[in-house]
Amino acid sequence: MNYRLWFWIVNIFTAILRLLFIGQAGLTVDEAHYWVYTKFLSLSYFDHPPLIAYIIKISSEIFGNTPFGVRFPAVVIFFLASWIFYICVKKLYNERTAFFGVLFLNVLPVFSFLGSVISIPDSPLALFWILSFLIFIVIIETKNRNLWYLFGITSGFALLSKYNAVMIAVGAILFLILSPKHRFWFKEKRFWFSLIIMFAIFIPVIAWNIENNFASFGFQLKHGFGSVIPKLSFTYFGRAIGAQAGYVSPLIFPLFLAAAYFCIKEAFIKKDKTALLIACFCLPTLILFNGVALFNEILPHWPAMGYLILAIYTTRMILDFWDKKWFRNYVKAALAFTIFILILAPVHIIYKVVPIEKFLPQQQAQKIKHGVSEAERIDVTNDLYGWEEVGNEIRRILAKYPPKSKPFLFTHKSYLASQLAFAVPEQRIFCLSSKIDAYDIWQRNLKPLKNKNAIFICSDFFYFDPQEYGGAFKTYSQTEEFAVYRNGKKIRNFFFTQCQDFNPYNLKPEFTAKGLGEKKEILSELIRFDHAVFKFINNTIRCIPLDFYISAVSFSDSKNFNLSFFVILAMSIAVLWVNKREKFWTNLALMICVLAVSSVLTQFLKHYFERPRPLAALGAENVNVFYERLYANSFPSGHTQAAFAICAFMYMVVKKYWYWYIFLAFAAGFERMYAGSHFPSDVFTGALIGSLTAYFMVKLFKKYSYEVKP
């Protein structure tokens, strides 16, 4: 059997099926919310990092603001992810296992439907997670050091998808720790550079959080770990396991549990490298989120990436045990049931074939609220319908008003606001919610709406009386109803209330964005953080031995004698003389050149920025100093630059005493803060200048002159 050919047949065929389906129904609540992201393009967002917004933006620009345009990226991403998944399994096992692995992936609802049809952050997360896993496999196989840079890039883009992508780095580090013959990578600078690259790509998200008082980080931590002291709850854990079983498929879920057991056994008892690799990239994620589930409610898709990697081993286990009749029959039944559900779901979404009322108790089935039966209320597929009609009704209402006096539109739930925004993309929808959400970020300033009229919109599912806003509006008119039908049955009632003369100053605090605080300037926040760290080191950390040492160094500095510099210089000269005597004068000259170039650059920056020293910026009463009292030209630290320039040079030339170089360099930087002479940013920049100058000059010298052998 030509497994590769059949893989492409299956992958292309399933992609075509998804493309035929994605335009047949409206957006889910989450998709609509991520589409609203595209109207407020930013470095990041309250709920998630920004990658999903830019992906949807590009697709919507091509295909328009339609369900097809929003969902098209999900189909393409899953197509690519399946291809990469196939390559991963082929490298770990063989082509046969790879083909059946992709078939298995296409059966699991969490990947074959939720992750491949609906545009959510988990779609690009899955792509970059499996791509990072593939690159790591190739690194382990080929020992290609340069691939670490690519690993850092793909991991960084995974972090731009969702925060839990940090577990990629955890998985890689865990494997290198647990596999003795691969621990040498910890000595490889490219491995550490990959982590730096991953962090650098994530910097825009950090910058956004600094500007917005760490709103997103705080929200996700609270969302994931709770806001109260955790208490052990097996109820939460049971719900989490049950929900994950539903996402994976109830009958297939036991296969994953068995695969996890055999994978651990093979990895840690039989010392199998492939099993260990899979375990390190799936188990930490599964253990983390299911551990959290013991204390707090989690969403079932949070640990999905763990199941993505574990699906590789599960496929292999299924093939290994296929000759056992009882096992084969169970797997066939599990797959048949799951495939039936996978077919039924889109058919019901399009044609509404499942009679929900038949599965409810008679009393509950007959229950009516706002004219909508309980069966229609709990049918989640109804959420995908009626929005076009609601959009047309909104346009009809707005058409009654003169262009210059049109009311603004608002609601009380972010879910509803996002669906309404997609229904009328030419209008802006405001959300005056009692909870802090993404809309609070986008509408911090409501002053431009003062004295304007508005139309409040809600539904029977999220019913809310606008008079709860109290004096925010002068008067509230009578509410009008608008019903939405599907297959002749009412599925939703919408309510439109006209509100007159908005006054944002009378809005109750819980309906405002005050809980977020004022938007910060990144530079001012970084300076504030810089000062806080300085005060901690300079004021809080105090001990007599340190005071004695720093006092001696400060005294020598006050006499224009840099004691720490000359100690490092003398030690370096001695090490060069003992270990590199045949090239001593060449190395000494190169070290002096490194020191000179970095010093010139440092002095230029000092006079260009003219940053005040801590004594001038914070006042003498807030800074502990010894003998040396400086007030000007703080940025960057010359002492630190000189120490790191020499120590970085020595690290590249004579690695034998690397631990002494690190200790002395960091000690010099710490001394400048403890002595009250420099802020942490001065020290960091000085260290960066010294280290990079040494690195590039030694590299250039090696390339164009002679090889400096470690």
Q: Are residues 219 and 314 in the same domain?
A: yes
Cα-to-chain-centroid distance, residue 149: 19
Neighbour-count burial of 502, counting CB atoms closer than 10 A to its CB (0-12 exposed, 13-18 middle, 19+ buried): buried
Number of other CB atoms surrounding residue 634 within 10 Å: 23
Asked whether the predicted pLDDT for residue 227 surpasses 80, the reply is no
Give the mean model confidence (pLDDT) for residues 149-163. Answer: 96
Q: Which residue has the higher pLDDT, 113 or 343?
A: 343
| Cβ-proximal residues to 225 (8 Å cutoff; 6+ apart), any chain | 292, 295, 296
Contact residues for 63 (Cβ-Cβ < 8 A; gap 6+): 69, 72
pLDDT tens digits for range 195-209: 999 999 999 999 999
Q: Which of 343, 365, 399 is the last residue of a domain?
A: 343
Q: DSSP assignment of 65-109, as one string?
A: SSHHHHHHHHHHHHHHHHHHHHHHHHHHS-HHHHHHHHHHHHH-H
Residue 709 or residue 679, greater confidence: 679
The H or E element containing residue 694 is: helix 680-704
Question: 583 is in which domain, residue-wise?
Answer: 522-704
Based on the structure, what is the number of domains in the chain? 3
Give the pLDDT confidence score for residue 710 in this predicted structure.
Answer: 43
3-class DSSP assignment, residue 513: coil
Check pLDDT > 80 for residue 290.
yes
Q: What is the spatial distance between Cα 112 and Cα 177, in angstroms, rounded to a whole number?
A: 34
- Name residue, tokens 């574990």: 310
- Global confidence as pTM: 0.84
pLDDT at 229 over 70: no
Where does the pLDDT of residue 259 fall: very low under 50, low under 70, confident under 90, or very high at 90 and above? very high
User: How far is the C-alpha of 696 from the C-alpha of 710, rounded, in Å?
Assistant: 16
Euclidean distance between CA atoms 43 and 305, whole angstroms: 24
Same domain, 494 and 532: no
Residue 355 forms part of a structural domain: no
Whether 103 shows a pLDDT value over 90: the answer reads: yes
Is residue 474 domain-shared with residue 538, that is, in the same domain?
no
Residue 204 burial (CB count, 10 A): 15
- Domain presence at residue 598: yes
Tens of pLDDT, residue by residue over 441-493, are: 999 889 999 999 999 999 988 889 999 998 999 999 888 999 999 988 999 99
Q: What is the per-residue pLDDT across 409-453, written as a single tens digit (0 to 9) for each?
A: 999 999 999 999 999 999 999 999 988 999 999 998 899 999 999
10 Å Cβ neighbour count for 147?
Answer: 17
Q: Does 318 share its domain with 385? A: no
Q: At what angle do helices 563-579 and 544-558 cross, to 10 degrees?
A: 90
pLDDT at 709 over 50: no
* Mean pLDDT of the 563-590 span: 87
Give me the mean pLDDT over the 126-140 stretch.
Answer: 97
Are 103 and 229 part of one and the same domain? yes
Same domain membership, residue 245 and residue 100:
yes
Question: What CATH number should be reported for the domain holding residue 586?
Answer: 1.20.144.10
Is there a domain that residue 101 lies in? yes
Q: Are 11 and 107 in a shared domain?
A: yes
pLDDT tier for residue 220 given thresholds of 50, 70 and 90: confident
Q: Is residue 651 part of a domain?
A: yes
Is residue 354 assigned to a domain? no
Same-domain check for residues 537 and 572: yes
Establish how many alpha carbons lie within 13 A of residue 365's alpha carbon, considering only the half-sphere containing its beta carbon: 8
Tokens of 527: 């300076």
pLDDT of residue 554: 85
